[in-house]
Amino acid sequence: MGQAGRSGRRRQAEPEAADLSASSNTVAPIVITMGDPCGVGPEIIAKLFRGSRAEGCFVLGDVDVLRRAVRLTGGGLVVAEIDTPQAAIEVPPNALGVLQAQALPSDLLDAPLGAIDARAGAAAARCIEQAVALARRGAVSAIVTAPVHKGALAMAGVAFPGHTEMLQSLATEPGGEPPPVRMMLANDELRTVLVTIHQSLRSAIEAVSFGSVLDTLRIAHRAAAGWGMAAPRIAVAGLNPHAGEGGLFGEEEITIIAPAIAAARAEGIDARGPYAPDTVFMRARHAVGHPGEFDIVVAMTHDHGLIPVKYLGVEHGVNVTLGLPFVRTSPDHGTAFDIAGTGAADASSLAAALTMARRLGLG
């Protein structure tokens, strides 16, 4: 995918092939992937590394792209190229450690900021692939991914609509079945897990089945242990208006969702519903003076679940992929092409993603 690194740069060992075993008596570092180099990912990374928030982390990406991002965000930060993940702990304060990703397009800096470009999509994908290789070897304790652009991935010939599906494929054992994964968006007030994600609404409705709902409840229940909830209270949002109103507006709640909830409860999962989608998020929201009735909401489709969380503020939201054999989090915003190159992007969501990754990676 793309050409090898720039001529004249010292070539490092491929991350997949290097000796990447983490020390048994130290916590492995966290890797942050560069994201789409034409978007705000490199800039929010540069902002994150100012100060101590990114201690024990390194970036897997392109050294020159990260140096440009440092300049765009005001300078004052040294970009230090490292040879191994373990070298991240030796990077001095006020420095950004970068492990140069391999086989990136040689003309990556020519890809225009704020635009969809196949070179950027290829580079983003290569960083994800190599980060997963590190995680599967135990060389990193978690992966935090900066935003990618689905159009750029498609232009580069990447056969996945986004991070979640790509990570699921990369986590699949040769000849094995893909692990069942789910997308969760979370902030301090609300956690939402999705039954379906990146597909058309028409096909998503067809994908809502007894098995997919039950699997989602199981995955959410197991994952909750990672943030200290042995018995999370899980509310299940219906698919139809008013959760079908007893069959008047659709029967999926009666024939699919309620039986899946009953099966989950028989397994000891505290699942309840289905509830009307337009009110369940208000009931679950944890706010000052309003303790939420639920710890997690399971929603049937992408926008049903994500609009309420994002409305509370994308600067605080974190995207977590549940069900992977490694920890992966990301900001809940995209590449923000409209402000790429201005240095104005807010790193708060990336910082929240790193905080969540630390919590789950040590769990």
Residue 78 sits in the same domain as residue 199: no
3-state helix/strand/coil string of 119-149: HHHHHHHHHHHHHHHHHHCCCCCEEEECCCC
The pLDDT > 90 percentage for the chain reads: 82
DSSP at 290:
B
Residue 77 sits in the same domain as residue 50: yes
Give me the residue label for tokens 């990912």.
41
318 close to 13: Cβ distance less than 8 angstroms: no
As for how many domains the chain has, the answer is 2
DSSP at 66:
H
The answer to whether residue 24 is domain-embedded is no
Classified as helix, coil or strand, 193 is strand
239 CB-side CA count, 13 A: 26
pLDDT digits (tens, 9 = 90+) for 82-101: 999 999 999 998 899 999 99
pLDDT category at 70 given cuts 50, 70, 90 is very high
Q: Which domain holds residue 238?
A: 188-310
Within the chain, strands assigned E span: 30-33, 57-61, 78-82, 95-100, 142-145, 182-186, 191-194, 234-237, 271-275, 296-299, 318-322, 328-331
Cα–Cα distance measured from residue 299 to residue 33, given in angstroms and rounded to the nearest whole number: 28
Which residues have a Cβ under 8 Å from the Cβ of 290 and sit 6 or more positions away? none
Positive or negative torsion for Cα 228, 30, 217, 150? positive
Q: How much is the pLDDT for 227?
A: 80
Whether 9 shows a pLDDT value over 80: the answer reads no
Residue 197 sits in the same domain as residue 166: no
72 close to 98: Cβ distance less than 8 angstroms: no
The answer to whether residue 204 is domain-embedded is yes
pLDDT digits (tens, 9 = 90+) for 185-240: 999 899 999 999 989 999 999 999 999 999 999 999 999 987 889 999 999 999 99
The answer to whether residue 246 is domain-embedded is yes
Residue 141 sits in the same domain as residue 73: yes
- H/E stretch holding 295 reads none
pLDDT category at 52 given cuts 50, 70, 90 is confident
Residue 297 sits in the same domain as residue 341: no
Q: How much is the pLDDT for 26?
A: 66
pLDDT digits (tens, 9 = 90+) for 28-41: 999 999 999 999 99
Maximum CA extent, the chain: 69
Residue type present at position 22 = A
pLDDT digits (tens, 9 = 90+) for 99-147: 999 999 999 999 999 999 999 999 999 999 999 999 999 999 999 999 9
Cα–Cα distance measured from residue 15 to residue 33, given in angstroms and rounded to the nearest whole number: 13
CATH number of the domain encompassing residue 152:
3.40.718.10
